[in-house]
Structure 1
Amino acid sequence: MFVAKFFAAAVAGLNLLVAARTIPSEFQELQSRQNTQYQGYGFVYFTGEDLPNGEQIYFAVSQGNDPLHWNVINNGYAVLNATLGTKGVRDPFIIRSPQNDKFYLIATDLRFAAVNSWDVAGRKGSRSLAIWESPDLKTWSAQRLVEVSPPTAGMSWAPEAVYDAKAGHFIVFWASNLFAASDTNHTGTSYSRIMYANTTDFKTFTPAQVYIDTGSAVIDTSAIYDQATSTGTASAKQSGISCVQEKSSSFFGKWTTVTTGIGNAEIGQSEGPTCFLSNRYAGVYHLFIDDLSPRGYVPFETGNITSGVWKKSTNYALPTNPRHGTVFGITTKEMQNLSGL
């Protein structure tokens, strides 16, 4: 059996998958994200509803192979701007194609500044994902919207994905409030579950199904692979506004808690975790947690992800106001492509 770690935000946390010698097919792509060929990092994020044009797509490139110091792209202006749906996007995530010839960017279709109510956004929000794709991180397609959640869902928030090599498709997961089919106006009581659907091209998706239902709110799920113990790790936010870490023997297996309240002592309320392995230092993992105060992401790190013990990083300089996004390993050429935007 294999165990993975998972982060969810209690309304956020981290899940860990632990594997045997044979890595389950749905975690092979997670393992491939941790590659010594990567000479730096890309960072995709939004900057917040309180800032002008803050609910759009921003990029930064690491200074060399250092994930704690960054150069913003496009002079700090948005690189991709939503033209469809709500005309706002949040929580961007990037994944490579299995052929390594394309990047898919998926994000929440939400312009909160136009709604100004989390209750309304969770009941009558977009059921679609905002999607772009690129062959090189420099040339990007036009935006498209793809509806992934059923009519009973109130929204589709914070999407991420893994690639299942055996099945030959991506597993895309996101958070939705679900309402009774008879409650067409979504006025009843609900809480967010993690949904999932499969796709091969991010254009057509299988019907959404419930992936994680804890009986209380969970959003911002993210996954990573633990090389030392052949485990996978994920993060999310759960009721109580804090990040938790969990583990499981398979992607669709039972998740058990490793630790809760990650970062609470340092930053208080948090969400939107993104976790990644250091390109330079064996066994070192970085976890960026979105502080609900205006400062956005705060970096944490550990040399033993299985322990669930994280310490706040020191000597860091993140981009200005980075909110829920993704840090991903890139090659020297890809660093050059991103820097040229």
Structure 2
Amino acid sequence: MKRLFTYILLLFASAIISCKASKSVYMFTSFHEPANEGLRLLYSYDAIHWTDLNRTFIKPEAGEAKIMRDPSIAQGPDGVYHLVWTTGWKDDKGIGYASSKDLIHWSAQQHLNVMEYEPTAVNAWAPELFYDDEAGRFIIVWASTVPNRFAKGQEDENNNHRLYYTTTADFKTFAPTKLFLDPGFSVIDAEIVKRGKNDYILVMKDNTRPNRNILVAFSNNPLGPYSNYTKRFTETYSEGPSMTKTGKNWFIYYDSYRLKRYGAMRTTDFKTFTDIADSISVPTGHKHGTIFKVTQKQLNLLLKDSVAVKTNQQ
């Protein structure tokens, strides 16, 4: 009986350890200006208080400028993490891409020339990854300016963005680039989030002057069309929105760059938005990232590797 009791205790302890190891942890991709150091990662257990792992995990090599802005990560069903990022401010028609099984060791970087078919395209900004689990493919959405093609507000013609996209199942072959969204105004920094079956939300920045703030729209398909645009619910000079859910609450983080801090809004219905900027804790220097989840086991590997890297640097 004693042996049986001991065995049951061991099974119970093992179950607790296993459960803890599989617990979800929020991760926030990040970069620091001037964007030449590479990918940084923050983590949180409540999606409110964030800690910087305080190192870079991949140094940018793709593109002529050799920078990494707006890093976006999404995990595929095979467990592989895929990363895309902005490789240049202007005169760059491509985006960066790399993959990893553990967020520590990364594949060779590629420069995907997603706008090469447009001879006058100015840029390819803030690519965002979304895994479409119903179609079994990744969707990459980014903002580009093609001068003299769309209606314009007060902004310069070379700053009149629309959203474009491509899809891929393996990051080896890509569907031809197509227009993703023309909302009738200059738009950048768009992220797709699935709220439920046939229920998708697009959070984005209205980049027209004088707006430059955040709103969302809705669709029953991740590729759109999107409609029912909300009011602009953040202060002006807001960009880089990223959305995540905890409990019944959706948090929309964004870079409030004029105030030189990170902002956040909370909502349950996408009709009423509550400013929670004074309640969040985001490390100084954090810039435009996206939020995804990992297990506690994966975070432990990142923490262990970060300690080893710092020790080797001393």
TM-score range, shorter chain: 0.7 to 0.9
- Quote the residue 1:79 is aligned against: 57
Matches within 5 A, 1:53-202: 56-62=38-44, 65-73=45-53, 76-85=54-63, 86-99=65-78, 101-110=79-88, 112=89, 121=90, 124=91, 126-149=92-115, 150-152=117-119, 153-179=121-147, 191-202=160-171
SS of the residue corresponding to residue 66 of structure 1 reads: coil
Q: Which moved more, 1:171-180 or 1:210-219?
A: 171-180
State the structure with more CA Rg: 2
SS of the residue corresponding to residue 305 of structure 1 reads: coil
- Quote the residue 1:327 is aligned against: 291
SS of the residue corresponding to residue 214 of structure 1 reads: coil
Alignment length, in residue pairs? 272
Counterparts of 1:189 and 1:40 in 2: how far apart (Å)? 40
- Quote the residue 2:238 is aligned against: 270
CA distance 1:139–1:294, shift in 2 (3 Å):
farther
- Quote the residue 2:310 is aligned against: none
In the TM superposition, residue 338 of structure 1 has moved relative to its aligned partner by 2.4
Query: Higher relative contact order by CA 8 Å / sep ≥ 6: 1 or 2?
Result: 1
Q: In the alignment, does 2:280 pair up with 1:295? A: no
SS of the residue corresponding to residue 290 of structure 1 reads: strand
Counterparts of 2:291 and 2:240 in 1: how far apart (Å)? 12
Equivalent in 262, 271, 276 of residue 312 of structure 1: 276
Note if contact 2:38-2:59 (Cα within 8 Å) is conserved in structure 1. yes
CA distance 1:38–1:235, shift in 2 (3 Å):
farther
CA distance 1:338–1:254, shift in 2 (3 Å):
same
CA distance 1:211–1:251, shift in 2 (3 Å):
same
- Quote the residue 1:117 is aligned against: none
In the TM superposition, residue 129 of structure 1 has moved relative to its aligned partner by 1.1
Note if contact 2:32-2:285 (Cα within 8 Å) is conserved in structure 1. yes
The one-letter amino acid of 2:282's match is L
In the TM superposition, residue 45 of structure 1 has moved relative to its aligned partner by 1.0
In the TM superposition, residue 192 of structure 1 has moved relative to its aligned partner by 0.8
Note if contact 2:42-2:50 (Cα within 8 Å) is conserved in structure 1. yes
CA distance 1:270–1:335, shift in 2 (3 Å):
same
CA distance 1:324–1:66, shift in 2 (3 Å):
same
Once the two structures are superposed, residues 235-255 of structure 1 have per-residue CA deviations (whole angstroms, 9 ceiling, x without a partner) of: 111122010121123233332
Matches within 5 A, 1:207-226: 207-226=176-195
CA distance 1:260–1:306, shift in 2 (3 Å):
closer
SS of the residue corresponding to residue 151 of structure 1 reads: coil
More strand as a share of residues: 1
The one-letter amino acid of 2:237's match is Q
CA distance 1:201–1:289, shift in 2 (3 Å):
same
The one-letter amino acid of 1:142's match is A
CA distance 1:257–1:167, shift in 2 (3 Å):
closer
Counterparts of 1:159 and 1:195 in 2: how far apart (Å)? 9
In the TM superposition, residue 273 of structure 1 has moved relative to its aligned partner by 0.2
CA distance 1:294–1:131, shift in 2 (3 Å):
farther
C-alpha RMSD of the superposition:
2.4
Q: In the alignment, does 2:302 pair up with 1:338? A: yes
CA distance 1:84–1:69, shift in 2 (3 Å):
same
CA distance 1:105–1:331, shift in 2 (3 Å):
same
- Quote the residue 2:215 is aligned against: 244
SS of the residue corresponding to residue 228 of structure 2 reads: strand
**Percent of paired sites with the same residue:** 27
SS of the residue corresponding to residue 47 of structure 2 reads: strand
Counterparts of 2:271 and 2:58 in 1: how far apart (Å)? 38
In the TM superposition, residue 83 of structure 1 has moved relative to its aligned partner by 1.9
CA distance 1:243–1:320, shift in 2 (3 Å):
same
In the TM superposition, residue 176 of structure 1 has moved relative to its aligned partner by 0.7
Where structure 2 has 5 or more consecutive residues not aligned to the other structure, the ranges are: 1-21, 150-155, 307-314
In the TM superposition, residue 271 of structure 1 has moved relative to its aligned partner by 0.7
Counterparts of 1:306 and 1:285 in 2: how far apart (Å)? 9
Where structure 1 has 5 or more consecutive residues not aligned to the other structure, the ranges are: 1-36, 113-120, 182-186
